[in-house]
């Protein structure tokens, strides 16, 4: 990989220079209170920011949060993130109330050496995500004016062809931050020659999101364990009835085709926790996968499935896990995700957890993060990396 790194930049000396850092501070917020429910992505960027602060740079951090539609939207403000980032860095973070306007300009201009500023949400500006090169470029020009050098440490966003990820590095000397380097290093172990058996666990709600990665992984993996909302489309493809469970009807044929080509590598649930409503206190029972009552929906994998998945995982030497096995946010439907996560930690394997939801699940369930080989900050990004796709943010750093 012909990518310059943060150490290269530090070696040139950054004292007094403005360094624009693209981070992925897209953290989950509590719907009611707006409080940050998982600060993993903020902590993940601290090594890069800390090194720049220590070297005396004027550090200008930018990020997106959520999916606002190209205009300011208070529920997606990065202000709470600035507060948390300041606590973790042990020094206040100067917050700009816009991204490239007056507040941003004066905040950046007022930075002293070794101080950190955070700009308001990049996606409050239509130029950030625009499909139009000129519109993105114009926004990238404004952003690039805040830096003498650019560091990409937003691994979770490297699969997006957005101004701050793709166009800014074309305008400034650019390097990969510590997080991006570490993520690429770890994920390349999975695409290279993973130690076998290589077992992949996929969950989450939508098959359509995971189709490309399933296609790409099938030839390489020894076992593919499928749970989460997406398993019902596969069960349907096997000819089973799934009640009112999540079902992507237009994907059934595709799933049938995948199952035919999978050479028995795909393992599906044999039992399901089926509930009468999508609610934490819904009446529920464990039923065999071929006996889901017509008026019920599956919200978790059952204990027999967990045992089967755990047995497969106990053999593994390499594990990649993306996507929860059930609605783990509701305690009644968390056992599947917990069981699989625990089985991964017990396996004598190099394990990688990919995806914001799975990483958040690990922490929300109180599991020990250090018992996993690597917890990726990227969901879509880690999947697209494993698919072998060209990631715009990485490609931009290579140029």
Pick the piece of the chain touching ligand 3PG (CB under 6 A) from 152-160, 284-292, 298-306, 332-340. Answer: 152-160
Active site residues: 41, 206, 356, 380
User: Could you give the strand order of the β-sheet that contains 198-202, starting from the edge strand earlier in sequence?
Assistant: 266-267, 223-226, 198-202, 318-322, 350-354, 374-375
Q: 77 or 245, CB closer to ligand 3PG?
A: 77
For the chain, the maximum distance between any two Cα atoms, rounded to a whole number of angstroms, is 67
Site membership for ligand 3PG, residue 22 (CB under 6 A):
no
d(CA 285, CA 94): 51
d(CA 180, CA 178): 6
Residue whose structure tokens are 């799975």: 358
Pick the piece of the chain touching ligand 3PG (CB under 6 A) from 51-59, 71-79, 155-163, 262-270. Answer: 155-163
d(CA 399, CA 15): 25
Count of CB atoms situated within 10 Å of the CB of 7? 11
**Shortest spacing between CB 132 and ligand 3PG, in angstroms:** 18
Residue selected from 17, 58, 160, 174 as contacting ligand 3PG according to rule CB under 6 A: 160
Enter the tokens of residue 164: 């701050």
Site membership for ligand 3PG, residue 69 (CB under 6 A):
no
**Shortest spacing between CB 24 and ligand 3PG, in angstroms:** 5
- Residue 26 contact among Mg ion, ligand 3PG, none, beta carbon within 5 to 8 Å by kind: ligand 3PG
Contact residues for 137 (Cβ-Cβ < 8 A; gap 6+): 163, 167
Q: 68 or 380, CB closer to Mg ion?
A: 380
Q: Which residues contribute to the site for Mg ion (CB under 5 A)?
A: 379-380
Chain CA centroid to CA 311, Å: 27
**Shortest spacing between CB 369 and Mg ion, in angstroms:** 21
Taking residues 358 to 387 in sequence order and writing x for each that binds ligand 3PG by CB under 6 A, - otherwise, the string is ---------------------xx-------
- Residue 115 contact among ligand 3PG, Mg ion, none, beta carbon within 5 to 8 Å by kind: none
Query: Which residue from 184, 154, 147, 188 is spatially nearest to 168, judged by alpha carbons?
Result: 147
16: left (phi over 0), alpha (psi -120 to 50) or beta: left
**Shortest spacing between CB 396 and ligand 3PG, in angstroms:** 16
d(CA 172, CA 71): 26
**Shortest spacing between CB 162 and ligand 3PG, in angstroms:** 8
d(CA 76, CA 34): 9
Residues that bind ligand 3PG (CB under 6 A): 24, 26, 67, 156-157, 160, 356, 379-380
């Amino acid at each position: 990989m012909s990518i310059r790194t943060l150490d290269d930049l530090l070696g040139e000396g950054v004292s007094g220079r403005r360094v624009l850092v693209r981070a992925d501070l897209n953290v989950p917020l509590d719907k009611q209170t707006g409080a940050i429910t998982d600060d993993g992505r903020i902590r993940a960027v601290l090594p890069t920011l800390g090194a720049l602060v220590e070297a005396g740079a004027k550090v200008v951090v930018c990020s997106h949060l959520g999916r606002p539609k190209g205009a300011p939207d208070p529920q997606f403000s990065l202000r709470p993130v600035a507060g948390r980032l300041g606590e973790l860095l042990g020094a206040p973070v100067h917050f700009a109330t816009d991204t490239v306007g007056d507040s941003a300009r004066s905040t950046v201009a007022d930075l002293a050496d070794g101080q950190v500023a955070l700009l308001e949400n990049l996606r409050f500006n239509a130029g950030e995500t625009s499909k139009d090169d000129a519109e993105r470029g114009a926004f990238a020009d404004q952003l690039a004016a805040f830096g003498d050098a650019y560091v990409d440490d937003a691994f979770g966003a490297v699969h997006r062809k957005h101004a701050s990820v793709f166009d800014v590095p074309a305008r400034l000397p650019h390097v990969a931050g510590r997080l991006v380097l570490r993520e690429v290093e770890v994920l390349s172990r999975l695409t290279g020659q993973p130690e076998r058996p290589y077992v992949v666990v996929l969950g989450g709600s939508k098959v359509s999101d995971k189709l490309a990665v399933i296609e790409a992984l099938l030839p390489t993996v020894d076992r593919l364990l499928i749970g989460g909302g997406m398993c019902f489309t596969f069960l349907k493809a096997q000819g089973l009835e799934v009640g009112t469970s999540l079902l992507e009807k237009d994907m059934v044929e595709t799933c049938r085709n995948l199952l035919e080509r999978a050479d028995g590598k795909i393992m599906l649930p044999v039992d399901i926790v089926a509930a009468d409503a999508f609610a934490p206190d819904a009446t529920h029972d464990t039923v065999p996968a071929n006996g889901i009552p017509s008026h019920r929906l599956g919200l978790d994998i059952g204990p027999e499935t967990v045992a089967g998945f755990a047995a497969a995982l106990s053999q593994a030497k390499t594990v990649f896990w993306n996507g929860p096995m059930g609605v783990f946010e509701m305690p009644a439907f968390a056992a599947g995700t917990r069981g699989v996560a625990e089985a991964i930690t017990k396996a004598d394997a190099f394990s990688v957890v990919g995806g914001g939801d799975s990483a958040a699940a690990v922490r929300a369930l109180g599991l020990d993060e250090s018992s996993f080989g690597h917890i990726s900050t990227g969901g879509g990004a880690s999947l697209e990396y494993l698919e072998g796709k060209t990631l715009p943010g990485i490609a931009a750093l290579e140029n």
